[in-house]
């Protein structure tokens, strides 16, 4: 190991954090500020310029793109005779919020996330914390080490040991249909309601809330209304633990 990394691990002011992160990631992180930002939720971030906060949202955006690219290439090579629809559906299953939340927890990312403790009172707002941090970490690795390293990291450290692609292939993850089925089974009323953007948000996104028995259980945002409904249903499934209910754990 180069002396610079030895110094970094054992003499840096952040050495305890770096060693802990190394145990999770499997390599010595370079720019530690990137990784700290990857685990910082907007609820504890500060504004740095023009209303932009030093939260993990920008890294999340980047990580989402890198993850999608790596998974798309993997599936393209793994299934040479499958059509675009099959590949798109399977990629969606792998990068779904439910799956990324599980991966984030399995990898131990939950021990690093910084967020306002008052969010504990709002489980539906917590449901995406893990998945968001997962994507932000991928963005941090990309900025720190580049695409080739990040691709290898995803394939060998995360996807190969933790993602059963063939099992996901036969797993039903139509979140909206499953959520409606779950609500019908338990006699609950479900509504998908389009709402306005938050104050100050000028993006042209569809905002859809899922209400179960009048309580908001998920929010989806996308440029396409149907996609926003799917995202909202996915978050509601995670919040209500639909896939953990015995009758629905196919």
Mean pLDDT by 10 residues, the chain (250 residues): 54 77 91 93 80 86 95 96 87 87 92 78 63 95 97 96 88 79 92 83 81 91 81 86 62
- pLDDT score, position 165: 93
Q: Which domain holds residue 95?
A: 31-169
Among the options 57, 60, 64, 234, which is catalytic? Answer: 64
Beta-carbon contacts of 170 under 8 Å, excluding residues fewer than 6 positions away, are none
| Residue among 9, 1, 25, 18 at smallest CA distance from 141 | 25
Q: Are residues 44 and 139 in the same domain?
A: yes
Q: How many CB atoms lie within 10 A of CB 129?
A: 20
- pLDDT score, position 12: 64
How many domains does the chain divide into? 2
The CATH code of the domain that includes 148 is 1.10.1520.10
- pLDDT score, position 3: 46
The CATH code of the domain that includes 210 is 3.30.160.20
- pLDDT score, position 121: 53
Q: Are residues 209 and 243 in the same domain?
A: yes
| Structure tokens that stand for 164 in this block | 């059963």
Cα–Cα distance list, 166 to 159, 162, 170, 172, 191 (Å): 12, 12, 7, 12, 33
64 is catalytic: yes
Among the options 57, 60, 132, 135, which is catalytic? Answer: 135
| 91 occurs within a structural domain | yes
- pLDDT score, position 58: 92
- pLDDT score, position 201: 66
Q: Are residues 51 and 160 in the same domain?
A: yes
Q: Model-level pTM? A: 0.71
User: Tell me, what DSSP letter sits at residue 26?
Assistant: S
| Structure tokens that stand for 85 in this block | 């629809």
Q: Are residues 116 and 153 in the same domain?
A: yes
User: Which of 125, 144, 169 delimits the end of a domain?
Assistant: 169
132 is catalytic: no
- pLDDT score, position 5: 57
- pLDDT score, position 128: 76
| Residue among 207, 213, 212, 205 at smallest CA distance from 237 | 212
């Amino acid at each position: 190991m180069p002396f610079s990394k030895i110094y970094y691990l054992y003499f840096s002011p952040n050495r305890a954090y770096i060693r802990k992160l190394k145990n999770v990631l499997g390599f010595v992180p370079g720019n530690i500020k990137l990784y700290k930002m990857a685990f910082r939720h907007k609820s504890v971030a500060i504004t740095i310029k023009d209303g932009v906060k030093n939260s993990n949202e920008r890294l999340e955006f980047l990580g989402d793109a890198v993850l999608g690219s790596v998974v798309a290439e993997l599936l393209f090579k793994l299934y040479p005779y499958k059509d675009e629809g099959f590949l798109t559906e399977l990629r969606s299953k792998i990068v779904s919020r439910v799956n990324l939340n599980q991966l984030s927890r399995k990898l131990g990312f939950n021990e690093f996330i910084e967020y306002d403790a008052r969010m504990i009172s709002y489980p539906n707002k917590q449901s995406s914390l893990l998945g968001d941090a997962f994507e932000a970490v991928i963005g941090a690795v990309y900025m720190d080490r580049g695409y080739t390293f990040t691709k290898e990291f995803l394939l060998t450290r995360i996807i190969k040991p933790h993602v059963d692609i063939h099992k996901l292939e036969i797993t039903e993850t139509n979140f909206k249909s499953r959520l409606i089925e779950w609500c019908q089974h338990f006699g609950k009323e479900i509504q998908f309601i389009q709402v306005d953007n938050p104050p100050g948000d000028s993006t042209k996104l569809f905002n859809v809330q899922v209400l179960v028995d009048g309580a908001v259980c998920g929010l989806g945002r996308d440029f396409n209304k149907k996609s926003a409904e799917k995202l909202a249903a996915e978050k509601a499934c995670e919040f209500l633990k639909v896939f953990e209910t015995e009758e629905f754990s196919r």
